[in-house]
Structure formats: structure tokens, C-alpha cells
Amino acid sequence: MTMTQIKLGNNGPLVSKLGLGCMRMSPVWGGAASDETESIATIQMALDNGINFLNTGDFYGAGHNELLVGKAIKGRRDDAFISVKFGAIFYNGQWLGLDLRPIAIKNFINYSLVRLGIDTIDLYQPCRLDGSIPVEDVIGTIADLIKEGKVRHLGVSEITAEQLRKANSVYPVTALEIGYSLADRQIETDLLPAAKELGIAVVAFANTAEGLLTGDMKAPLAKGDYQNHFTRFQGDNLVKNLEKVEVLKQMAQEKGFTPAQLAIAWVNTQGGHIMPLVSMSRRKRLPENMQAMEIAFTPAEMDMLNNSFAQGAILGGTYLQR
């Protein structure tokens, strides 16, 4: 199976149409880290199969994730396109807020380069913009890092259409990273059209909406499940949301795939400039996720999905909802 490549934005580099999200290889939500040998083997197998877009963040496991990615790409830097998010401050696993000061960004990047064992980060992006620091200062600092050769391309993440336009006016944005799935379509109103108009690629994460679209979820969730934090997965909301997922499960059964594969395939078919970013930490997940990139829908199937999962059809929110 050959991995399709896309241009990352109008003027960007060629990257794989499927991206590998590395976050879950590190301790997130207070959980333990995945098996390191298996995680490294997963990254290397992805590279072997032409999946070169690797997504990490300096705050994933307090640098653990970057160190892991660094080990996996050692000796094969040219096979990988490294995307790094920065700006989030965690302490003992608790979110404290953002630090987007230029002085902080200049500090963050050097630590990232050392942990990754590389000289240049391919795509560097603030994880969010909260108005604490002017957009011009945040983006301007990354523009300076690009001039210095520490960064190749500017990315942004989790922002509004207005912020995207502003950032792009300071320095050309190559890619927008944002949550997007059948269950989370609010970005279709303003943000997706803005990205398309400006020629910016979309790196779409959370394609299965925190597990809702996998078809494996049952109500009520176990007490320890992290999804319990979100209104989408609570009480009657979850019961009603899972009724919608039955449509996806039925279609998956008829087509001979899993609901998760169809969820990824739906995102993939939303445009040539849209990349599904799929989290994996085990090699056995790679073939099914690559296969999802080959799935096509008939017009009738697409209508059924778009009607069943129209904006607002899924009740309650997750952190994706801004």
C-alpha cells in the first residue's frame, strides 16, 4: 500500500496524507507511558511505510515524547517531518496555563532541538493562542526562528478563523492543527473555509472524537475513564450520542471495515488539503489506519453520514469545542 503525499499548504513541503500522532506514547491524563520499545518500533514502521509526518509537543510527558521521537528517528532524520507544539505549562500533570512570551519560546525551542536530537524543527506551532501575548509577538518570534534556521515552517493550533487570518498576515502559516471529526464539525462554519481560502493545510486530530466513533463505547463509562470529564460522555448525552454511532457501525459492517476506519476515511475525504492525524502507539494499528485512507464512500453513504452527524447532532462538548 503506497502512502499518498500532499503538499502542506500552497507553498509547503510534500508530506504523507496520514499523520502519526505520538502523544499517547507518553503519560497523558495521568496514565502510564506506553511500552517504549513498541512505541519506537511503531514510529519506525510508520516511516518505513511512507508516513513521515510525526506530531509531538514539548509538554507531552514533560519532554518524554520528544526524547522518544528523537530515539526513533536517530540515523534517519531525512525520513521524518517533525511537527512540534509548544506553550502549554503543566505541573505534576495539572494544566497551569500558557506561556507564549517571546523569551519563553526562545527557551522552549532549544530544549526541543536537544531532546529531538535535530538542528531544525520542520513545523513549529503554539498549541493555542489565548490573547495573553499579542499574536504579532508570538508569530513574529517563530518568524525569527525560521530566519535563524531553527524552524522550517510556521504552524498554528486550536485557534479561531480571526486568529488564523491575523497570524497569516504576520507570517505565512503552513498548517493549522485542529480537532475534526463527524462528531465535531463546528469548524466547518468559519475556520475550514478560512484555511482553504488562505491556502493553509489542515492537520485534523481526534478523528474518532475521543473514542465515541470507535463503536466500542458503552454507556455508562467506567468510573476511571478520562472521557467522564466531558459533558458529551455523561448521562443521557452519551446514550443519545451512541444511538447516532449505530449508523456508523451499521455502515462499517456493510462495507467490511471498522467504525474507526470509516471515521478516519470521512475526515480524509473532506479535502486534498486535509490530513487525518491519527494517534497510535502499537504497530498492529498501522495497517488498519493506512487501509482507512483507501476507503471511498458512495454519494448516498456520504449523505447518510452527513445527515446523521449534522452540526449539533452530537450532544455535549469536549475540549475541542471552543
Domain boundaries, the chain: 5-213+258-297
Determine the Cα–Cα distance for residues 197 and 172; give it in Å rounded to an integer.
13
Q: Indicate which residue of 60, 124, 171, 180 is catalytic.
A: 60
Residue 186: pLDDT band by 50, 70, 90 thresholds? very high
Report CA torsion sign: 174, 171, 63, 225.
negative
pTM of the model as a whole: 0.95
Give the confidence band of 322 by pLDDT, cuts at 50, 70, 90. Answer: very low
- Residues constituting the chain: 322
φ/ψ of residue 120, rounded to 5: -140, 135
Mean pLDDT score, 235-247: 96
Cα–Cα distance between 263 and 180 in angstroms, integer?
A: 10
87: its cell numbers? 506553550
Burial of 170 (0-12, 13-18, 19+ CB in 10 A): middle
Instruction: Work out the mean pLDDT of the chain and round it to a whole number.
Output: 95
pLDDT level of residue 31 (50, 70, 90 thresholds)? low
Clarify whether 60 is annotated catalytic: yes
Q: If you write DSSP's letter for every residue of 243-308 in order, what string do you get? A: HHHHHHHHHHHHHTS-HHHHHHHHHHTT-TTEEEEEE--SGGGHHHHHHHTT----HHHHHHHHHH
DSSP assigned state of 82: E
What pLDDT is stored for residue 171 in this prediction?
98
Question: CATH classification of 5-213+258-297 is 3.20.20.100, yes or no?
Answer: yes
